[in-house]
Amino acid sequence: MDARLDFFADPTGGRTLKHFMSAGKTIQESSLPAATRELVALRVSQINGCAVCLDMHTKEMAAAGETSVRLNLVAAWREATVFSEAERAALALAEAGTRVADGAGGVGDEVWAAAAKHFDQEQLTALVILISFMNSVNRLNIITQQPAGSYEVGQFH
């Protein structure tokens, strides 16, 4: 499969993505734990079916030492015992924030309260921005059919 667009070859795409990706860098520099960031990015990408993001985040997580058990159980995190309570709260928020069209109520108070119990204001801000950021990146990749499978660890760092 060939991508429909090469964002970096287009002047508007290149300029826009330069600024857009700097937002991603800011999230990486936040105090939100790296493992939580990657789990959330992976789960949002699973829900949206973004193959290129799944490729990137699973490879980055494996290279950072994440276990195959945890990687394989992200999609079924509710039934898995390998995630901390904080990670579970972040995954619940990620799902609620990604599936806003599926639930008329949006992100419920229970989901928010669980996340707020485990993360401070800065971390919650980073988490909310990360969820929104990943949804945007997923859509850019899906709309333009960006191919997956060739990502190399550290490629975008």
- Mind listing the domains of the chain with CATH numbers? 33-143 (1.20.1290.10)
> What's this model's pTM, rounded to 2 decimal places?
0.92
pLDDT in tens, the chain (157 residues): 788 878 778 888 888 888 888 888 899 999 999 999 999 999 999 999 999 999 999 999 999 999 999 999 999 999 999 999 999 999 999 999 999 888 767 899 999 999 999 999 999 999 999 999 999 999 999 999 888 878 888 777 6
Indicate if the alpha-carbon torsion angle 39, 40, 41, 47 is positive or negative: positive
Q: What pLDDT was estimated at residue 14? A: 84
Q: What pLDDT was estimated at residue 47? A: 96
Q: What pLDDT was estimated at residue 24? A: 86
Contacts of 20 (CB under 8 A, 6+ apart): 136
Compute the distance between CA of residue 146 and CA of residue 122 in angstroms, rounded to an integer.
32
Contacts of 22 (CB under 8 A, 6+ apart): none
Compute the distance between CA of residue 99 and CA of residue 44 in angstroms, rounded to an integer.
9
Q: What pLDDT was estimated at residue 66? A: 95
Q: What pLDDT was estimated at residue 8? A: 75
